[in-house]
Amino acid sequence: MGDSRAQQLLYEQFANRMFRVCFRYLKEEWEAEEALIKGFLKVFQHLSQFEYRGEISLEAWIKRIMVNESLMFLRKKHPYHLITETQADSMESDLAPDSDLHAEEIYALILQLPTGYRTVFNLYVIEGYSHQEIASQLNISENTSKSQLSKAKAALRHLLTKHGITHEN
């Protein structure tokens, strides 16, 4: 067993950020809390395998564990292969998000996306995964991943318009 005090300090430092990560994927509070607890258990169990590679390496390592735990919850609930592909819309020309847009507003907008769109959007835009990694994680094709991302962006643009965020044409 590890040092209980050290475990608590680690939890106190990263719990809020990691709960936000889990909630961003799962959208259900009890599921996010469950994923958070399981994720921290794995962190404590495999802490000896962590290799320090800089100041943010520990947070990145813990975040990756939390994302994997959240995806495990999602795999049980949502069969990704049933998501149908549609033509992707480009956000380049018509969406220009205001830099003053608050983080909580962005977070809320992301939560409004459908599960499939939200998952791919989170993995690609927020976590920085490639389409190949996303396809491997979700057991879908790369084209499906790209399609889901485009649809997510389109949906997000629609939500921004709905909330009065101006577009740049």
Cβ-count burial 136-151 (b if 16+ within 10 Å, e if not): ebbebeeebbbbbbbb
Q: Judged by CB, which is closer to other proteins: 22, or 81?
A: 22
Q: What residues line the site for other proteins (CB under 8 A)?
A: 1-2, 4, 7-8, 11-12, 15-17, 19-20, 23-24, 29, 32-33, 36-37, 40-41, 44-46, 48-49, 90-92, 95-97, 99, 101-104, 106-108, 110-111, 125-126, 128, 153, 168
Q: How far is the CB of 42 from other proteins (least distance, A)?
A: 9
Q: Judged by CB, which is closer to other proteins: 2, or 79?
A: 2
Q: How far is the CB of 11 from other proteins (least distance, A)?
A: 6
Q: For residue 22, is it left (φ>0), alpha (ψ between -120 and 50) or beta?
A: alpha
Q: How far is the CB of 167 from other proteins (least distance, A)?
A: 11
Q: What six digits make up the tokens of 115?
A: 């599960």
